[in-house]
Structure formats: structure tokens, C-alpha cells
Amino acid sequence: MEERQTHSAAVGYILWIFGFLGCHRFYFGKPISGTIYFFTLGLFFIGWFIDLFLIPGMEREADIRFTPGPIDYNLAWILLVFLGLFGVHRMYMGKWLTGILYLLTGGLFGLGYIYDMWTLNDQITLING
């Protein structure tokens, strides 16, 4: 039986473009280093550049760690990064009430958006489990 991938290197590289904000690190389930990257501009752009070569390994680790299922991690993360303040990623996951709340409050004034950057992989794993 072939294992389904949960995370994609291609999506990782797209988010790497915003990697100096830590997006790709959050995507691959590394919220602490993602936060450090956010506040240090990818460790002053040096770590951001090095991550260009580390993404395939981060993808393999994420595929092992997170549970595949009906909610696609890639789509949810793209929705979060680009439309997260509008709650579209929450609506996609079936969390309509909080999705509408995010829509009306700008992702709960940005704090909910940050919370979801930290926890989205775990939220999806719970739903897919």
C-alpha cells in the first residue's frame, strides 16, 4: 500500500518565498523556528537561504509525522497563508463558525491567524484521524 503524502516540497518552496517570515517552517510543522524566523527575518536571511536546500528533508519529516486524510494540508496551508485573515482555511476544514468569525474580525485581529500558523497541522491531523 502506497503512503499518501501530507506535505509537498513544491508548496514548501512557494512558501519559502515568504520564508523570511517563517511560513515554510510553520508549514512543515516547525513553529518554534518559524517564530524565530518571523522575528529575525529568517535569521537575517542566512537561514532562509540555507532552508532552500533543507526543504526536501523537512517534507519527509512532515509526511511521517502528520496523518493524511480528506483535508488536504497543502490547500489548507495555501488558504491560511494567503487568505487566513478572512478565515477561508477554517471554512475549508468545516469550521464554519470560526471561519465566519475570522472573516468579520480579520482573523480575530491577527491573533487567530498567528494561532493557526502554530497549530494548523495538528488541527488537520485531528480532523483526518
Asked whether residue 123 falls in the same domain as residue 100, the answer is: yes
For the entire predicted model, the pTM comes to 0.91
Q: pLDDT tens digits, the chain, 129 residues: what are they?
A: 456 789 999 999 999 997 778 999 999 999 999 999 999 988 888 998 999 999 999 999 999 999 999 999 999 999 999 999 999 999 999 999 999 999 999 999 999 999 999 999 999 999 998
Q: Which residues contact 59 (CB under 8 A, 6 or more apart)?
A: 5, 7, 8, 9, 12, 28
Q: Is residue 3 part of a domain?
A: no
Q: Is residue 1 part of a domain?
A: no
Q: Reduce the DSSP state of residue 128 to 3 states and report it.
A: helix
Query: If you ran DSSP here, which 8-state letter would residue 20 be given?
Result: G
Q: Is residue 32 part of a domain?
A: yes
Structural domains in the chain (count): 2
**What domain range includes position 57?**
9-65
User: What would the grid cell of residue 51 be?
Assistant: 532552508
Asked whether residue 60 falls in the same domain as residue 94, the answer is: no
